[in-house]
Amino acid sequence: MYIYASHQINERLIPSPTPPTQSKATVLPPRPSSSSDINPFALPDRRTLLVATISLASSLSLSTPPSQAIQGSIAGRIPGITGPDADGYYLYQRPEGKSGGHGIGWSELPRYSFKVPVGWEETPVSIADLGGTEIDLRYAQEDQGSLMVVVAPVLRFMEVGYNADITIDEVGPPERLIEGFAPELFGAPLKEGDVLDTKVVQKNGRAYYEWSLKPHRLVAATAVGNRVFLLAVSANSRQWRKSEDVLETIQGSFKVPPKQQA
């Protein structure tokens, strides 16, 4: 009993051993990494990425000359306006390379032209129009009226060869032409008394037909190659009272250049 008690007492008097103190870890600067240490899948930090982007942009701006816009052949509507002239009219000339809804197999159309008053704008052409794919162009102005240009094959009236160059008088007399095109130009056949006046004029040695029709409609037509070209102007009563002279100027200015011989 005594020995056990003495041992227990001595065990209480012996201090417990102090655990060794841990020294603080010393942070060393990162050593330069060799190529073998680089992780190829690691993403660069934001600052590195920004510096690289700025450097690349600077090098490109110094080494690459400014690009030049190139105007090519564009499908659809293309502006063809020049002017104005001394009377304040602009000139529309069909742009070279302008596409149309005339179907596969149509060759380039002659660059027909006419005068455009200030404020007139080109409007979309729809295949749902009465003239279908034969309507090549539309223009309009709210206070003055509207116009369309129709381009149709002379095969509607006569048999011709591929490389033909037909004049309007060979296609037919004025009354036959206007009666044949009235439904697609105006949405209905002509009625008796609708034709108020008919003229045949010469422009650059080529014959043109011009009509004045009820109620307020003007048409000019000619033939070049194997096509008939018509310009039709329409107005309501208010527009006609205000702009009769302007609409007659548009009609009289319509021209189609002669066919270029190969």
CA angle 36, 39, 44 (to 5 degrees): 130
Q: Per residue in 62-116, pLDDT tens?
A: 443 333 333 333 334 446 899 899 999 999 999 987 765 454 445 678 999 999 9
Nearest one of 113, 115, 109 to 96, comparing CA atoms: 109
Contact criterion met (CB below 8 Å) for 135 and 125: yes
Contact criterion met (CB below 8 Å) for 157 and 179: no
Position of tokens 């102007």?
Answer: 233
Residue 179: pLDDT band (50, 70, 90) is: very high
**What is the DSSP track for 65-129?**
PPP--------S----EE---TTS-EEEEPPTT---SS-TT--PPP--EEEE-TT-EE----TTS
> What is the structure's pLDDT at 250?
98
Which pTM was predicted? 0.68
pLDDT at 135 over 60: yes
> What is the structure's pLDDT at 262?
52
As a whole number, mean pLDDT of residues 125-142 equals 80
Question: What secondary structure letter does DSSP report for 132?
Answer: G
Select the highest-mean-pLDDT range: 1-15, 36-50, 162-176: 162-176
As a whole number, mean pLDDT of residues 220-229 equals 96
Kindly state the helix (H) or strand (E) to which residue 224 belongs, with its residue range: strand 217-224
Instruction: List, in sequence order, every residue forming a beta bridge with 228; answer none if it has no partner.
Output: 152, 223
Q: Which two tokens stand for residue 175?
A: 């009354």
Distance CA 95, CA 73 (A): 10
As a whole number, mean pLDDT of residues 232-242 equals 97
Instruction: List, in sequence order, every residue forming a beta bridge with 137; answer none if it has no partner.
Output: 149
CB crowding 74-109: b at 16 or more within 10 Å, else e: eeeeeebeeeeeeeebbbbebeeebebebeeeeeeb
pLDDT averaged over the chain?
77
- Which residues have CB under 8 Å from 247's CB, separation 6+? 144, 145, 216, 218, 233, 235, 240
Indicate the range of 44-48, 97-101, 167-171 predicted with least confidence. Answer: 44-48
> What is the structure's pLDDT at 66?
36
> What is the structure's pLDDT at 235?
98
> What is the structure's pLDDT at 7?
41
> What is the structure's pLDDT at 13?
40
As a whole number, mean pLDDT of residues 216-233 equals 97
> What is the structure's pLDDT at 103?
46
> What is the structure's pLDDT at 175?
96
Domains of the chain and CATH, by start:
81-252 (3.40.1000.10)
As a whole number, mean pLDDT of residues 155-177 equals 92
